[in-house]
Chains A and B, each alone.
Chain A
Amino acid sequence: MKVFQFWQTHGAETARLLSQHVGLVMISTLVAIAIGVPVGVAAARRPRIGGPLAAAANVIQTVPSLALFGFLLPMPLLGGVGARTALVALVLYALLPLIRTTAAGLRSIDPAILEAADAMGMTGRERLFQVELPLALPSIIAGIRVATVFGVGTVTIAAAIGAGGLGEYIYRGLSMVDSTVILAGAIPVALLALLADGALLIVERVLRRPASARPLAVIVAVAAAALLIAVGAAAAWPRGPRIVIGSKNFTEQVLLGELMAQTIERFAGLPVDRRLNLGGTFICDRALRGGDVDLYVEYSGTALTAIFKQPVERDSAAVLGSIRTAYADTGITMLDPLGFNNTFAILVRGDVARARQLTKLSQLPAHAPGWRAGFGYEFIEREDGFRGLAATYGLTFLEPPRVMDLTLIYRALADGQVDVIAGDATAGLIDAMHLVALDDDRHYFPPYDAVPLVRTATLLRHPEIGQALKRLAGRVDAAAMRRMNFAVDGNHRDPGVVVREFLDGIQK
């Protein structure tokens, strides 16, 4: 039932994603028909030419879609982040069923009919269009049906590379661990697949039965398809130059993407395209360098180690300085930090902290010998994780730290199963569960300052973007980020609304 509420409050967005989804499937299927049917004809007539093509399509079919997207991403012309790559992949997938059914449909025609067509004096083209293709049509429609249903599913995965469509809800729901949002995407996808399958099955059945009522049904089906194509294409086709904003695929990043987008819309007055939920750091970085995305928010420490492959550095200003230069060399401008540092946070329960007047990590060794700690697996293993922390502050706990799942670790602390955990400095649950983050007063953790990255070319073309985003410099502190994260993750509110309220607040 929550799903219906979600749709009610996200009506416009759901409609947009749905029509994007339909548009992508329609366009890719049409292109695949335009390529696949002629190849199918060639395969039926001249197996020497058509055979290898059909075999190639067969091989493509076996490549998992995520792998194919990953393979296409760095390719010039075909690749990049967004609908184009998705379309290329969808077309490649749709080819095989179309080639196969077209060839099979043509081969199954009674030879006497073909002999009659030749003896009537039909040219090859006349025979193909007046006799062979009409007779192979039901079989071709069967291929279109398979390709379409497959496409509806594959588009879902294409949301990972910024193609849009209902997959966005599924990815968003997965990153928010919110089954309502997952269902809000998954249910329409399933219905869409069933609908496409059913409708095309009816067309196929009608065509297989050569009755006099046929033309009407075909006209109705074609008209319906044309309408869907028009709606979908109108929604999926890019309009005019827009500032494209990307984000990685977790709540905070979606919020930051939304924050960039609304700030530019509000203060620079430019139209914006949101390509949020774009998978991980690698994809966002690629997209920014390739020009598919004009701007996204990165974390300084991540940029230093993951993108520029430099060793860990603990001084915040030094990190910002070195990545600013490194980015400038690749045509990307790093703007001023937003004001929060999304690093590891060592957390304790609020009542405990107050009772013992605990605010800094350097005070922790006095209490640690009587406490139990719970850490995520990654924190125990990482170079900048537990071992270095224990050495820097001289920590020993009652027992070796427990390894816990990150989603459960906050609850474990709040319930008193453990007394200290390593969490995420901007996790919404910190406030919701009345936890307190201890100040890293010896600067052990490397900095992960949030910084907007903009393509320099875009900034030169639209200097007003820089002006608009300047308003955010230093205005988003960890507490504000935690509140927004919690509003989305904890209270299941819409990121767009949460960001609007935040902007209203800082404008005053």
Chain B
Amino acid sequence: MIEFDNVSCARGSTLVLRDFTLGVTEGQVVALVGRSGAGKSTALKLINRMLEPDRGRVVVDGRDTREWDATALRRRTGYMLQEVGLFPHMTVSRNVAVVPSLLGWDGLRIAARTRDLLELVGLPATRFAGRFPHELSGGQRQRVGVARALAADPPVVLMDEPFGALDPVTRSELHGVVRRIQAAVRKTMVLVTHDMREAFALADRIGVLQDGQLVACETPAGLERSEHAEVRALLDASAR
């Protein structure tokens, strides 16, 4: 589904990703973990061609991202980021409906889809559809972000530190939401986080990045046995 093939990518004059190779198969949830600046977000943005590799290539659905039309690729790739980036001038339901409208779905289908998704993320449409982002709590905004990322039923969903700014209780509620969705619809997901517990809670496989290089890529169980210093450091940090 998604393949990184010896990818290097520079932002400005610094090389933020070096010889990065990783494959994600369909329906798998992969978490990329590492400190700030380790290159996690860069890796994520290469998947929907928000960035392009300087060396190597990124293949999505059998095609190099540079061969994809960026707009088409992004519309079939759900995306959510830590700041959520909800559009403040649109209601909750219009925020969720952004990608379906861009794709030209008809109004009834969009309305039905929006309603279903809001239910799925635990925000009943009758109460929340007409609200504006500033009328929601942080956790509610993140839920809308999840719904928006899934709106056009994209085969791939990318999440950049999606729940980082939330309190632990809300965060685990949202983990539950994601797991529930994953059980129902099996998306290919790539998740970026600095929190090893989040990775353990959601991912089938976890890749650890250090200074732009992939230093480990294991199942959660395999990772716990790793002796790599950076992996241990991250595990210890989240155990506290």
Give me the interface of A with B, judged by CB distance under 8 Å.
Answer: 110, 112-123, 126, 130-131, 134-135, 210-212
Residues of A near B72 (CB, < 8 A) are 121
Q: Is the CB of A110 within 8 A of B83?
A: yes
- Comparing B1-9, B74-82, B179-187, B217-225, the segment that makes contact with chain A is B74-82
For the complex formed, measure the closest distance between the CB of A122 and the CB atoms of chain B, giving whole angstroms.
Answer: 6
Interface size for chain B: under 10, 10 to 19, 20 to 34, or 35 or more residues?
20 to 34
Q: Is the CB of B132 within 8 A of A120?
A: no
Q: A115-B81, A119-B81, A212-B132 are in contact. List 12 more A-B contacts (CB 8 A).
A: A113-B85, A115-B85, A116-B85, A119-B48, A119-B74, A120-B79, A120-B99, A121-B70, A121-B72, A131-B87, A211-B132, A212-B91
Could you count the A-B residue pairs with CB atoms below 8 Å apart for me: how many are there? 69
Residues of B near A117 (CB, < 8 A) are 85, 87
For the complex formed, measure the closest distance between the CB of A106 and the CB atoms of chain B, giving whole angstroms.
Answer: 14
Give me the interface of B with A, judged by CB distance under 8 Å.
Answer: 48, 50, 70-75, 77, 79, 81, 83-89, 91, 98-99, 102, 130, 132, 134, 148, 158
Q: Is the CB of A210 within 8 A of B134?
A: yes
> Given known contacts A119-B74, A120-B74, is B83 in contact with A212 (CB within 8 Å)?
no
Residues of B near A210 (CB, < 8 A) are 88-89, 132, 134
Give the CA-CA distance A120 to B99 in the complex, in Å.
6
Cβ contacts A to B, 24 pairs, < 8 Å: A110-B85, A112-B81, A112-B85, A113-B88, A115-B50, A115-B81, A116-B85, A117-B85, A117-B87, A119-B48, A119-B77, A119-B79, A119-B81, A120-B98, A121-B74, A126-B102, A131-B87, A131-B89, A135-B87, A135-B89, A210-B132, A210-B134, A212-B91, A212-B132
Q: What 6 A-B pairs have minimum CB-CB distances, sorted nearest first? A: A116-B85, A121-B74, A112-B83, A121-B75, A119-B79, A112-B85
Q: Is the CB of B88 within 8 A of A121?
A: no
For the complex formed, measure the closest distance between the CB of A496 and the CB atoms of chain B, giving whole angstroms.
Answer: 53
Give the CA-CA distance A177 to B74 in the complex, in Å.
71
> Given known contacts A110-B83, A210-B132, A212-B132, is B75 in contact with A120 (CB within 8 Å)?
yes
Residues of A near B86 (CB, < 8 A) are 113, 116
Give the CA-CA distance A118 to B81 in the complex, in Å.
12
Residues of A near B102 (CB, < 8 A) are 120-122, 126
Q: Is the CB of B84 within 8 A of A134?
A: no
Q: Residue of B at shortest CB range from A113?
A: B85
